[in-house]
Amino acid sequence: MASEAVKDFFQRLPVMILVVIFGTGSWVAINGMWVELPLLVALGIPEGYNLASYLVIIIQLANIGPLTFTLANWWAPKGLKIETQTICVVMVVGIASTLLMVFFWDETTVWDIDNSIHSTALLCLTFFLSIVDCTSSVAFTPFMSRFKHMYLTWYFVGEGFSALLPSLVALGQGVGGDICIANYTYNEVREIDNKTYVVNCTAWMQQPKPANFPPEDFFWFLFCMMSCSAMAFVLLNVLPISKREYIRAESVQSIKSSSSGSSAESHGMLERSKDMTGNHGTIDNSGDTPQIKVLNSQEIELIPSPSGLSKLQYAYLFGVLAFVNALSNGILASIQSYSAGAYGLNTYLLAATLANVANPVACFIVMAAPSMSLLLVGVMTFFGTFAGSYCLAIAAMSPTPPLQFEMIGSVLIVLAWICVSGIFSYTKATIGWILRNQPDNRVLLIWFGGVTQLGSLVGAVIMFPLVNIAYLFEGYYEDACADYANHTSCDEVILTLNQPVVYVPVSFN
């Protein structure tokens, strides 16, 4: 038996690898953009620290992608699956957008609305990448429903890699920064104690220190990841070894007979969730981005009054979910650059990348040790809000926060952002787990996705005018030559007039 299990594992291993690679394409582009923000700010992008708030609102606008998919699926003829065609389109758009980003990320134009220079190409391409990633939330999982149940876990592993891999590459890239170098020297005549001296002075200037590799190379990396994901998708559709791992037609037919009003793609989703939860229902997405189950018009209905939890408990869970998403995906995401950037661009890079890594780690913990405790949801929300309040307070005090030039200040803000990302991701995933295990979980999880997007949208709409119109936050820009007053130093007497030449080091105030 053991030998047969090992043989079966190695037979399925190529498909597992393809599923993981396919999953990496789900959110890799936007995760990559988030961790690249510190370097783009360091390179003097026109939006500066405001770029994060632009990115937040762009992602919310990109929900037009999943909305279009939902409506198309709703009105499609019964039995027509459109997720395969949708994935083909979003893959092409994602590959094209990352390729164009390589060559045009730094192209700027003047916007008539404010007569200011903006990174037009970067923002437009980011919008298309956001459409790709948002649409993947509703298209990739239905595609995975055609495979046997075990492959969904490997898909989520790949989705975790879509956050981990760009973060590791960004850490290796660094942010460069500025160094202080001597620009030129000159002589200056000074009167000291009724004596005239000629002193040697040096004018200092900042010079950018490049990162280990430029943004173009990072965007090439994103292009390669999107291309690999697309190739894995093609192979999952055409390889005989992949087709052998599809759910058998008779399994789907048995679901059809028990739920005749469901769409064809719903059947695979229901079969998978039945295996995992013991109930007919939609599989939950336990990450930042909900895997929204798409239903026919006959299946859309209001929340019933389930016997599992009371209406008050459901209101509590959805209220917490909206609050957490408004805070994490809208409000705090818009000011991370001001908060972590106040301690330097290297600190900003660490906060952005490590917080990105904390997200899949927290979701993995929920998968490994899930909890149904409503009290735990409230406790974790409290601690996440506490950490988020610290980040928000530091952003408000920028550009001169406490402990700014102390190591402990950088450590605290990085830990705060890790806690914000990890705790809130754990909270959202736990709420999803609780809802998935309730009666009528299909409808509950649709509401889970809707409330997630609504909370994120509210947070983004609140913060965008505060950051970009009211200018309530001020960014901190490091001065590598701050040790020199007026970027000048005079440290040596080279000539005392009417006396022999002497060279005596002196200090002038």
234's tokens? 């093609």
Mean pLDDT check: name the lowest of 210-224, 242-256, 297-311, 340-354.
297-311
In this structure, the dihedral spanned by the alpha carbons of residues 476, 477, 478 and 480, taken in order and rounded to 10 degrees, is: -160
CA 185 to chain CA mean position, Å: 47
Centre a 10 Å sphere on the Cβ of residue 369 and count the other Cβ atoms it contains: 7
Cα gap 403→409, rounded to integer Å: 5
Structure-model confidence comparison of residues 12 and 101, the more confident one: 101
Structure-model confidence comparison of residues 364 and 225, the more confident one: 225
Q: Are 206 and 178 in contact (CB under 8 A)?
A: yes
pLDDT of residue 143: 87
- What separation in angstroms does the CA of 178 have from each of 35, 216, 402? 20, 20, 23
pLDDT of residue 277: 36
Q: Are 420 and 361 in contact (CB under 8 A)?
A: no
Angle between helices 249-258 and 264-277 (to 10 degrees): 90
Most confident of 53-62, 248-257, 485-494: 53-62
pLDDT of residue 487: 65
Give the model's confidence band at 1: pLDDT under 50 very low, under 70 low, under 90 confident, else very high. Answer: low
Structure-model confidence comparison of residues 411 and 492, the more confident one: 411
pLDDT beyond 60 at 166:
yes
Angle between helices 83-104 and 64-75 (to 10 degrees): 160
Q: Are 351 and 413 in contact (CB under 8 A)?
A: yes
Cα gap 29→218, rounded to integer Å: 11
User: Any bridge partners for residue 118, and if so which?
Assistant: 109
What share of the chain in percent tops pLDDT 90?
A: 43
* Residue range 172-222, pLDDT digits in tens: 998 776 777 777 777 777 776 677 777 777 888 777 778 899 999 999 999
- In this structure, what DSSP letter does residue 246 have? B
Tokens 């173009």, located at residue: 216
pLDDT of residue 264: 36
Contacts of 68 (CB under 8 A, 6+ apart): 135
User: Vertex 233, ends 94 and 126: CA angle to 5°?
Assistant: 10
Q: Are 363 and 160 in contact (CB under 8 A)?
A: yes
Give the model's confidence band at 375: pLDDT under 50 very low, under 70 low, under 90 confident, else very high. Answer: very high
b/e per residue 16-37 (b: at least 16 CB within 10 A): bebbbbbbbbbbbbbbbbbbbb
Average pLDDT over residues 131-144: 86
pLDDT of residue 495: 53
What share of the chain in percent tops pLDDT 70?
A: 82
Closest CA to 385 of 423, 339, 418, 413: 423
pLDDT beyond 90 at 394:
yes
pLDDT of residue 506: 45
pLDDT of residue 486: 66
User: Any bridge partners for residue 488, and if so which?
Assistant: 203
**Strand order in 488-496's β-sheet?**
177-192, 195-209, 488-496, 504-505
Burial of 182 (0-12, 13-18, 19+ CB in 10 A): exposed
Contacts of 125 (CB under 8 A, 6+ apart): 97, 100, 101, 104, 105
pLDDT beyond 60 at 289:
no
Structure-model confidence comparison of residues 457 and 183, the more confident one: 457
- The C-alpha R_g of the chain, in whole angstroms, comes to 28
